[in-house]
Amino acid sequence: MGISILDVSKRFGSYPAVKNVELEIPTGDFVALLGPSGSGKTTLLRLIAGLEGTDSGKILFNGVDYTNKTVKDRKVGFVFQHYALFRHMTIFENIAFGLKVRPRKFRPSKSEIKEKVFNLLKLVQLEQLADRYPSQLSGGQRQRIALARALAVEPEVLLLDEPFGALDAKVRQELRHWLREIHQKLNITTVFVTHDQEEALEMADTIVVMNKGMVEQIGSPEEVYQHPVNAFVYSFLGRVNELKGSTLSESTDRITDLADGTVGYIRPHEILLNKFQQGDSLPVEVSHVHTVGAVVRIEFKPLDTEEFYGAEMDIEKYKELGSVKKGNILYAEFKNIVVFGKETETPHVLTDTNRLSAAIH
């Protein structure tokens, strides 16, 4: 089922949680609502589910106005961050709940319910747990059951509120993969909320980046990562260094192209570090080196400044560089500074190294 969100706003008291959001979600899409906490992403999800009422704007499901429909009538599957499994019911009863509360006319027979529940348990690979209570399950298992329960009512839209937020890293990784598989199998329109950019980039077909109640950018993971429309999106997706034009040029007399007040951005893996001066690289002092798996992060500051930057390289490159210790002097080359103009917020990429060196001179 396709969902259209037309100019939707929602306030809590005087606090605007969602401001004039426009969003088109095609049938079968897998969408991530990505943003920091307080960006309105969960509120938007709850508005789609009908758990909150809109202040203005419309929500259409397949072109039909659903704005004033109750949660019950929207027939969406909703998965809560903390699972919200009914504690006094067994796993079987939890999954069967949505079928058992149907009006008698539409209620499946006992044997049909049983068959359906066991099919769902098979889908989430937890058939052996039917008679347990939620308190006897691990977090990852509970979240799978919560999903099975949401799917039991055959929703045409599946909404997940930070589904893996309360799980540890390893389980989270497993479940991400598994949820993708389920989406491929059932192909229902799925919207999930996350503050984890990695999760969004890894799972979603479409990413909706939100900030302060507004949509900043909508696009495929590649689009939003490679072509961020503004500084917020750029800095929210992945690690980033800020180059403040004024301070940097004052202290080094080298970066002049960055006018006062504008900020340049560069990803850590786009900073090259060398032991010897090459072309127009900047002398820097290493302040910290740490190895994270196959990646080495080096923190440094340009000489005579107090601004810290981070560079990232894979471990092979690091070995080529030779051992680096705190206090060593290296030469940094900034390959790919991105500048967002203040008014237009359109990116202006300084890719040409010659131009950059000109800028630094």
Partner 1 sequence: MSTKRKQRRVLPGFGLSMGYTIVYLSLIILIPLAVLVLKASTLSLADFWQTITDKRVVASYKLTLYTSLLAAIVNAVFGTLIAWILVRYKFFGKRIIDALVDLPFALPTAVAGIALTTIYSPNGWIGQYFESLGIKIAYTPVGIMIALTFIGLPFVVRSVQPVLQELDHQYEEAASTLGAGSVQIFVKIILPAIFPAIITGFALAFARALGEYGSVVFISGNMPMKTEIVPLLIITKLEQYNYGGAAAIATVMLGFSFILLFLINFWQWRTAKKHQVT
Q: CB of 195: closest distance to partner 1 in angstroms?
A: 19
The residue among 35 and 98 lying less far from partner 1, judged by its C-beta, is 98
How far apart CA 335 and CA 290 sit, in angstroms, is 22
In order, the DSSP letters of 49-66 are: HTSS--SEEEEEETTEE-
Among 267, 266, 319, 264, which residue's Cα sits nearest to residue 289?
Answer: 319
Q: Which positions from 82 to 111 touch partner 1 by CB under 8 A, shown as an x/- string? A: x-xxxxx--------xx--xx---------
Tokens 């009422």 found at: 53
Identify residue 94 by its one-letter amino acid code.
N
Identify residue 182 by its one-letter amino acid code.
I
- Joined together, the tokens standing for residue 68 give 């004033």
What are the phi and psi torsion angles at 47 (to 5°)?
A: -65, -40
The residue among 49 and 210 lying less far from partner 1, judged by its C-beta, is 49
Quick check: 247 and 305 in contact, CB under 8 A? yes
Q: CB of 132: closest distance to partner 1 in angstroms?
A: 11
Q: CB of 35: closest distance to partner 1 in angstroms?
A: 21
Quick check: 81 and 163 in contact, CB under 8 A? yes
Q: Which of residues 23-62 bind partner 1 (CB under 8 A)?
A: 49, 51
134 interacts with partner 1 by CB under 8 A: yes
149 interacts with partner 1 by CB under 8 A: yes
150 interacts with partner 1 by CB under 8 A: yes
- Joined together, the tokens standing for residue 254 give 């080298």
Q: How many residues of this chain bind partner 1 (CB under 8 A)?
A: 27
72 interacts with partner 1 by CB under 8 A: yes
Q: H or E stretch including 317?
A: helix 315-321
The residue among 149 and 267 lying less far from partner 1, judged by its C-beta, is 149
The residue among 85 and 182 lying less far from partner 1, judged by its C-beta, is 85
Interacting residue with partner 1 among 153, 171, 295, 324 (CB under 8 A): 153
71 interacts with partner 1 by CB under 8 A: yes
How far, CA to CA in Å, does 95 sit from each of 45, 67, 347?
22, 28, 49
How far apart CA 227 and CA 94 sit, in angstroms, is 44
Q: CB of 71: closest distance to partner 1 in angstroms?
A: 4
Q: CB of 85: closest distance to partner 1 in angstroms?
A: 8
The residue among 153 and 321 lying less far from partner 1, judged by its C-beta, is 153
β partners of residue 210: 215
Q: Strands, E, within 131-258: which ranges?
A: 157-161, 189-194, 206-211, 214-219, 241-244
75 interacts with partner 1 by CB under 8 A: yes
Interacting residue with partner 1 among 16, 55, 80, 212 (CB under 8 A): 80
Among 21, 19, 32, which residue's Cα sits nearest to residue 193?
Answer: 32
118 interacts with partner 1 by CB under 8 A: no
User: Strand 282-292 to strand 271-274: parallel, antiparallel, or no bridges (unpaired)?
Assistant: unpaired
How far apart CA 26 and CA 155 sit, in angstroms, is 16
Q: Which of residues 305-344 bind partner 1 (CB under 8 A)?
A: none
The residue among 35 and 134 lying less far from partner 1, judged by its C-beta, is 134
Interacting residue with partner 1 among 3, 148, 152, 282 (CB under 8 A): 152
**Residues near partner 1, by CB under 8 A:** 49, 51, 70-72, 75-78, 80, 82, 84-88, 97-98, 101-102, 133-135, 149-150, 152-153
